[in-house]
Amino acid sequence: MDIMNSFSLKGKVALVTGGAYGIGFAIAEALAGAGAEIVFNCRSQKNLDQALADYEAKGIKAHGYIADVTDEAQVQELVAKVAAELGTIDILVNNAGIIKRIPMTEMSAEDFRQVVDIDLVGPFICAKAVIPGMIEKGHGKIINICSMMSELGRETVSAYAAAKGGLKMLTRNICSEYGEANIQCNGIGPGYIATPQTAPLRERQADGSRHPFDQFIVSKTPAGRWGTPEDLMGPAVFLASDASDFVNGHILYVDGGILAYIGKQP
Ligand code: NAP
Ligand code: GCO
């Protein structure tokens, strides 16, 4: 076995949802670095144009489309278009996601549903759209971007935790249902990663001091720092490549050790 070659993604087509910026962009950059052809989607022309320029600046010729992961017709159309223009999708990274930080008793059912719709129903819609092509091709890799909230709760994130806990189980179910078709579906559970999504948790206070949540997270992380999108690059390549062909239904937590740690005595 050529071990380095087993990590290569040459000739593979990868769709990274929400790959315009943040974690999705870094994962797409990693998959491109390992040889994959990159397709991504986002919701606005402005983000699409900016992302295409950002990929080009990295020397990556990415294919970007506007499609909302909650819209089944748009996703089916995107997958068909990619199949016609580039070939069947070999790798799907379900990365697109949002969070709403609202105490549960103040949260509307509409807000709760919107989070679940994007973070859980979206991955279902995208996986459903690519699985038939993967079955026909005889292989496929699906990576669901889970969260610390796939395991833990905290104030204000009830909808997000419900969705990401559900995404962990959707991961195991896709593995159970399609493992036989040589499809591996795994999750990556990022710890606290510095991206636009977590920017409000890192904002400087009026007196210039660090946000209390920023200090809390650094003290809760054995690595002693926030993660960066780049921390997810190696794990994503591993789970997208032949090197992980017997890894299925697993959630790989990339959290600097948060889940292993009880925390410091106050
Ligand atoms: P981010 O910076 O807010 O980026 C989210 C991406 O998702 C954007 O590209 C956004 O693009 C896209 N998106 C949102 N809703 C969409 C929809 N309905 N259809 C298509 N695209 C959509 O977030 P991030 O921090 O990179 O997070 C990426 C993923 O990792 C999310 O699933 C998040 O829950 C998860 N995660 C993040 C952290 C963290 O600490 N940052 C930790 C664990 C897990 P548009 O707005 O242009 O559509
Ligand atoms: C929050 C955060 C988290 C992270 C991440 C942790 O408000 O607690 O936004 O939920 O983004 O998903 O893994």
pLDDT value at position 102?
A: 98
Helix, strand, coil shares, percent, the chain, to 5:
50, 15, 35
pLDDT value at position 265?
A: 87
> 118: CA distance to ligand 1 center in Å?
10
Q: How far apart are CA 145 and CA 14, in angstroms?
A: 15
Q: How far apart are CA 80 and CA 70, in angstroms?
A: 17
Residue 138 in contact with ligand 1 by CB distance below 6 A? no
pLDDT value at position 11?
A: 98
> 246: CA distance to ligand 2 center in Å?
29
Q: How far apart are CA 90 and CA 46, in angstroms?
A: 28
CATH level 3 topology of 5-191+227-257: Rossmann fold (3.40.50)
pLDDT value at position 266?
A: 82
Residue nearest to atom 34 of ligand 1 (CA): 97
pLDDT value at position 105?
A: 98
Residue nearest to atom 38 of ligand 1 (CA): 193
* 160 among known catalytic residues: yes
Pick the closest to residue 67 from 57, 78, 56, 59 (CA basis): 78
**Per-residue pLDDT tens over the stretch 63-76:** 999 999 999 999 99
Which atom from ligand 2 is nearest to the alpha carbon of 195? 11
Does residue 225 register a pLDDT over 90? yes
Q: One of 21, 160, 192, 253 is an active-site residue; which one? A: 160
What is the pTM assigned to this prediction?
0.98
Q: Are strands 140-145 and 91-94 parallel, antiparallel or unpaired?
A: parallel
pLDDT value at position 220?
A: 97
> 116: CA distance to ligand 2 center in Å?
15
Residue 193 in contact with ligand 1 by CB distance below 6 A? yes
Domain ranges of the chain: 5-191+227-257, 197-226
**Per-residue pLDDT tens over the stretch 6-43:** 999 999 999 999 999 999 999 999 999 999 999 999 99
pLDDT value at position 1?
A: 83
And the tokens for 47? 């983000």
